[in-house]
Amino acid sequence: MLRARLAVIAFLILFASLHGARAECSNPKMALGVSRVVEIDASTGGIYGSVSRQTKQPTFLKPKEVVLTFDDGPMPWITRSILDTLDRHCTKATFFEVGRMALEHQAVTQEVLARGHTLGTHTMTHPFNLPRMSETAAADEIERGFAAVGLAAGAPIAPFFRFPGLADSSALIDYMRTRGIAAFTVDVVSNDSYIADRSRLISRTLTAIEQRKGGIILFHDIKSVTAKALPDILAALKAHGYSVVQLRAKTPVQLLPEAVAEVTVDDGRTKRRRKQPFYAPVEPDRAAATSALRGYMRKKAGAGNRSSNSETRHQRRSPAAHHQDSIQKSSP
């Protein structure tokens, strides 16, 4: 009986190793690959991509070139599947991670970097109303997001940022310019947040890419349908003559010490009391909890606003305020 169990364990280990081998880039010449790397100098800030009303930076893409981007993760079982697919197609992407998700799944954040991808951020808690928040509160969301992802990664990350819901503002873009942070919107929206059918997602994404002849593509690595559709999407891009451009930062982002200190405190609370993610995950054994999670997040948002008002009355100094003070003191 013991020998039989050991044999089964040995088989599973062998299967896992073979499965991992299939995720490697086995035939680079026949794969989608990476046609070139574009180094972004974020020191002057700005926003890249077409879906924005703000003044945009000139495009760095040629016709039939795409940039693969993934928002909202990491989600271990989905992000790792996507990483495996990218490996099989010998290509690279940029991941815009949410701070609290990165803290919750630090090993996956580190794996994104270890596999050669670019790591940017997507705020700390993914508030959809970022432009409607006070500039100080919004800047804190941005700064704590960078601090959280940077701490989770345990390595330098890119000064690349994407607004939640692509809801940007000139004031926040100006703020990030003072920090040497570039914002990235998109050219092609896959709509994987609203399409649950794999075939529909493949068709919708490829049609949108073809209409624009390339561009920065938006996916989400918290959607299982995205992981399922991605192999066919990448294969089709290769078949239709598209190539992938990888984004790289000229220099890494500089984390604000005040934001790092605050995120470290939050991380400590996470260890004692597990935080819920910013979205409502629907899993086979937890679907009934979805509405309860949404209610929790609404209450959490309300408590956060009351806390913010209380802190303002006590003249709490935020990381963003400290940064603004340093700018003013250094000005002639």
Q: How many CB atoms lie within 10 A of CB 78?
A: 22
For the beta carbon of residue 51, count every other beta carbon within 10 angstroms. Answer: 16
Q: Which two tokens stand for residue 181?
A: 């942070």
% of the chain exceeding 70 in pLDDT: 72
| pLDDT computed for residue 305 by the predictor | 56
Q: Is the peptide bond before 74 cis (omega within 30 degrees of 0)?
A: yes
For residue 109, report the phi and psi dihedrals to the nearest 5 degrees: -60, -45
Tens of pLDDT, residues 271-294: 433 444 555 433 333 333 334 445
The backbone region for 214, taken as left when phi is positive above 0, alpha when psi lies in -120 to 50, beta otherwise, is left
CA 232 to CA 104: how far, in whole Å?
30
Q: Please give the mean pLDDT across all residues of the chain.
A: 82
Question: If you write DSSP's letter for every residue of 84-127 in order, what string do you get?
Answer: HHHHHTT---EEEE-HHHHHHTHHHHHHHHHTT-EEEE--SS--
**What is the Cα–Cα distance from 36 to 247, expressed in whole angstroms?**
9
pLDDT the model gives residue 27: 81
The DSSP code for 212 is: H
Angle at 280 between CA 279 and CA 283, to 5 degrees: 130
Model confidence band, residue 226 (pLDDT cutoffs 50, 70, 90): very high
Beta strand 118-121 with 188-189: parallel, antiparallel or unpaired? Answer: unpaired
Helix (H) or strand (E) holding 3: helix 2-22
Dihedral sign, Cα of residue 319, residue 296, residue 108, residue 129 = negative
CA distances to 77, 140, 245, 314 from 311, rounded to whole Å, are 38, 13, 44, 5
User: Is the confidence at residue 227, as pLDDT, over 80?
Assistant: yes
Q: How confident is the model at residue 24 (pLDDT cuts 50, 70, 90)?
A: confident
Q: Answer whether 0.85 is exceeded by the pTM.
A: no
- Cα distances (angstroms) measured from residue 88 to each of 19, 80, 82, 105, 116: 11, 12, 10, 23, 13
Instruction: At 256, list the tokens.
Output: 């604000």
pLDDT for the residue numbered 6: 42
Q: What residue ranges define each of the domains in the chain, with the CATH number in brackets?
A: 37-280+297-327 (3.20.20.370)
Question: Taking residues 285-306, what's their average pLDDT?
Answer: 48
Cα–Cα nearest to 278, from 76, 168, 123:
123
